[in-house]
Amino acid sequence: MGAYARLAALFAALTAIFVGFGWIIGTLWFSDWVTGSLVFLALAAAMNLIAYFASDKIVLWSYRARIISEADRPRLHGTVREVAQRAGLPMPRVAIVPTDTPNAFATGRDPRHAVVAVTEGILHLLTEDELRGVLAHEISHVKNRDILVMSVAATIAGAISFMARMFWWNTMLGGSSRGRDNGVATLLAFLGMILAPLAAVLLQLAISRGREYRADHSGALAIGEPLALASALEKLEAANRRRPFRFGSPASQGLFIVNPFSPTGFVNLFRTHPPIQDRVARLHDLAQGVDRY
Q: How far apart are CA 202 and CA 227, in angstroms?
A: 31
* 94: β partners: 68, 116
Region 5-23: what's the mean pLDDT? 69
More confident residue, 170 or 290: 290
Strand 66-68 with 93-97, pairing: antiparallel
State the pLDDT at residue 114: 94
CA distance 83 to 5: 27
The pLDDT value recorded for residue 179 is 46
Q: What is the mean pLDDT of residues 225-244?
A: 96
One-letter amino acid of 174: G
Please tell me the predicted confidence (pLDDT) of residue 253: 82
Give phi and psi for 224, each to the nearest 5.
Answer: 70, 20
Q: What is the pLDDT of residues 252-287, one digit of tens each?
A: 788 899 999 876 554 455 667 889 999 999 999 999
Residue 95 has pLDDT above 90, yes or no: yes
Q: What is the pLDDT of residues 178-209, one digit of tens each?
A: 444 556 656 665 666 666 666 666 666 666 67
Angle at 229 between CA 223 and CA 235, to 5 degrees: 155
Domain coordinates in residue numbering, the chain: 3-54+151-196, 61-146+206-287
Please report, rounded to a whole number, the percentage of residues in the chain having pLDDT higher than 70.
65
Q: 3-state DSSP call for residue 93?
A: strand
Residue 227 identity: L
**Per-residue pLDDT at 280:** 98
* Cα–Cα distance, 123 to 96 (Å, whole number): 10
Closest to 272 (Cα-Cα) out of 231, 223, 211, 194: 211
Q: Angle formed by the axes of helices 182-223 and 128-143, to 10°?
A: 120
Architecture of domain 61-146+206-287: 2-Layer Sandwich (3.30)
For residue 40, how many other CB atoms are within 10 A of its CB? Answer: 23
Query: Catalytic positions, please?
Result: 138
